[in-house]
Structure formats: structure tokens, C-alpha cells
């Protein structure tokens, strides 16, 4: 198999994985919303913060890898804000929750196919 | 005498990233991977049998992060001096120096370009081999 065909096959394989990533976005957003709800009920509970942090971290890495750069950078920004909050440095939790809900709405609008 | 890079122990908890990295490192890079989804999995005896030439570790993983995993891997037979590359979103200079102080031969930033990953790994390996030749 020549080099060009190999690269094409590789690119096709990565694109296929990227398509699967996109298909999972609605479920990921659902998971994020569940954690936001838990945080709203008890802002001092560390577990949903950590779960949400991991979801955002994973999304940032995968989105960037598949060239969904804006999705990745927005997820990364929210991930960094959680770091700040978990270190008990000033960052309004309410502002964070509102911004995260806005991110979810934006992601659903821009990255989820509607039939 | 320089060593050929053929086998990589790859530890990454994210399924998407691991899938892509496996494809590019195995298909493009021609390398043989032992892929693990966690530090705990990497610490299984199969890793010793596999005898990697290089370890490629994600930094931020739940339960056991990359640096902690590396500390424990170093205690396994044959892995004390195995070169390691970290993969992380945190690649500011101070953080890179920190990972190098842990013995890393380099740091690859995430998100990475899948089409460049194999070359990045080989380049860091080559630089490490060249430095080792002068020691």
C-alpha cells in the first residue's frame, strides 16, 4: 500500500472516530447537566465538581484532537475555572453554573445533528 | 550504540484519544503498543513481559495520575530506566521542566495533531538517543 493511500486510510479512520465523538455529544451534555444539577443542590459536594472537571477535560482533549477547536477551547476554559473553584479561589459559582449551561446550549446547537 | 524504538507502553484514560493514538502509532509509526486505560492496568505483570522501549503517559488520569503511575512503574523489573514521554494539556515552561525533572525525555501537548504524533514521538526518541550517546 503506497504512502498516499495509507495516509488517506488513516485520515478516514480518524474522521470516522471523530464522527463517533460527535454522536456522543448529546449524552455528554446530559451528563454535564446532571453534575451541574448536583452542584446547584450542594455546592460544597466535591464529587460532582470532580466528575464535571473530568468530563470537561476529556471533551477538551478529544475535541481539539478532532479539530473541533472552539468546542475544545470552551470546554478547556470551563475546566480551568473548576480548578480555580476547587482551590477555593474567588470565582462565583453561580456565574460558573450559568456559563456552563450556556456552553451546553451552544454545543447542542452547533454540534448535534437534528433530523 | 543507539536502540531502535519498536515497543511503547501507552497509558491514556480517554477512549477517543487512545483509539486515535493507537492507529497513528501502530499504522503510521509502525510501532507495537501495549495500551492501558489506567495506571492500575499498566502496573499489571504483562507490562514487564511486554518490556517497552518507551513509555507514553497521559498526565491527568482519575485515581492515579501520570507522575504517580511513573513512580510505581519505575519499581517494576526492567523499567527503572525506560524513557518516558508525558502527554498533557499543561505545557507551560515551568510544567515541562517539572515533568523533565521526573525523568521525562519530553512532553507532547494535548490536543495533539494525530498526523504528527508518530513523528513527534520518534523525534523525542532520537534526541534522547543522541544525548545518551554523549554521556
Which segment of B8-17, B46-55, B123-132 scores lowest on mean pLDDT? B123-132
With bands split at pLDDT 50, 70 and 90, how would you rate the model's confidence at B134?
Answer: low
pLDDT at A9: 83
Question: Which residues are paired to B85 by β-bridges?
Answer: B56, B106
**What is the radius of gyration, based on Cα positions, of chain B?**
14
pLDDT in single tens digits along all 115 residues of chain A? 577 887 888 889 899 999 999 999 999 999 999 999 999 999 989 899 999 999 999 999 999 999 999 999 999 999 999 988 888 766 688 899 999 999 999 999 999 876 5
**Range A52-78 burial, b when 16+ CB lie within 10 A, else e:** bbbbbbbbbbbbbbbebeebbebbbeb
Predicted TM-score of the model (pTM)? 0.86
pLDDT at B71: 96
Contacts of A58 in chain B (CB under 8 A): 14, 16
Residue B19 and residue A17: Cβ atoms within 8 Å?
A: yes
ipTM score over 0.90, yes or no: no
Residue A61 and residue B28: Cβ atoms within 8 Å?
A: no
Residue A21 and residue B16: Cβ atoms within 8 Å?
A: yes
Contacts of B16 in chain A (CB under 8 A): 17, 20-21, 58, 61-62, 65-66
What Å distances lie between residue B57 and A27, A37, A103, B70, B122, CA to CA?
27, 33, 30, 8, 15
- Count Cβ–Cβ pairs < 8 Å, chain A vs chain B: 54
B71-130 confidence digits (pLDDT tens): 999 999 999 999 999 999 867 778 888 999 999 999 999 889 898 999 999 999 999 998
CA pair distance A2, B127, nearest whole angstrom: 28
Q: How far is A114 from chain B (nearest CA, A)?
A: 23
Residue A10 and residue B20: Cβ atoms within 8 Å?
A: no
% chain B with pLDDT above 70: 96
With bands split at pLDDT 50, 70 and 90, how would you rate the model's confidence at B2?
Answer: low
Give B17's DSSP letter.
H
pLDDT at A52: 96
Amino acid at each position: 500500500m503506497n504512502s498516499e493511500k495509507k495516509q488517506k486510510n488513516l485520515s478516514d479512520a480518524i474522521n470516522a472516530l471523530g464522527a463517533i465523538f460527535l454522536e456522543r455529544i448529546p449524552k455528554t451534555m446530559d451528563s454535564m447537566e446532571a453534575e451541574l444539577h448536583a452542584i446547584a443542590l450542594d455546592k460544597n459536594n466535591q464529587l460532582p465538581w470532580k466528575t464535571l472537571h473530568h468530563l470537561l477535560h476529556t471533551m477538551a482533549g478529544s475535541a481539539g484532537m478532532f479539530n473541533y477547536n472552539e468546542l475544545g477551547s470552551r470546554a478547556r476554559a470551563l475546566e480551568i475555572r473548576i480548578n480555580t473553584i476547587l482551590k477555593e479561589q474567588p470565582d462565583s459559582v453561580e456565574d460558573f453554573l450559568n456559563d456552563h449551561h450556556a456552553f451546553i446550549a451552544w454545543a447542542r446547537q452547533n454540534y448535534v445533528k437534528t433530523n | 550504540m543507539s536502540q531502535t524504538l519498536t515497543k511503547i507502553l501507552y497509558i491514556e484514560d480517554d477512549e477517543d484519544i487512545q483509539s486515535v493514538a493507537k492507529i497513528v502509532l501502530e499504522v503510521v509509526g509502525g510501532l507495537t503498543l501495549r495500551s492501558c486505560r489506567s495506571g492500575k492496568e499498566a502496573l499489571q505483570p504483562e507490562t514487564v513481559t511486554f518490556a517497552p522501549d518507551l513509555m507514553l503517559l497521559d498526565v491527568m488520569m482519575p485515581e492515579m495520575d501520570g507522575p504517580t503511575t511513573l513512580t510505581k512503574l519505575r519499581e517494576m523489573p526492567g523499567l527503572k530506566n525506560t524513557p518516558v514521554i508525558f502527554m498533557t494539556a499543561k505545557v507551560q515552561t515551568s510544567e515541562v521542566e517539572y515533568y523533565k525533572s521526573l525523568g521525562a525525555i519530553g512532553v507532547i501537548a494535548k490536543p495533539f495533531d494525530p498526523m504528527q504524533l508518530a513523528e513527534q514521538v520518534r523525534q523525542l526518541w532520537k534526541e534522547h538517543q543522541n544525548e545518551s550517546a554523549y554521556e
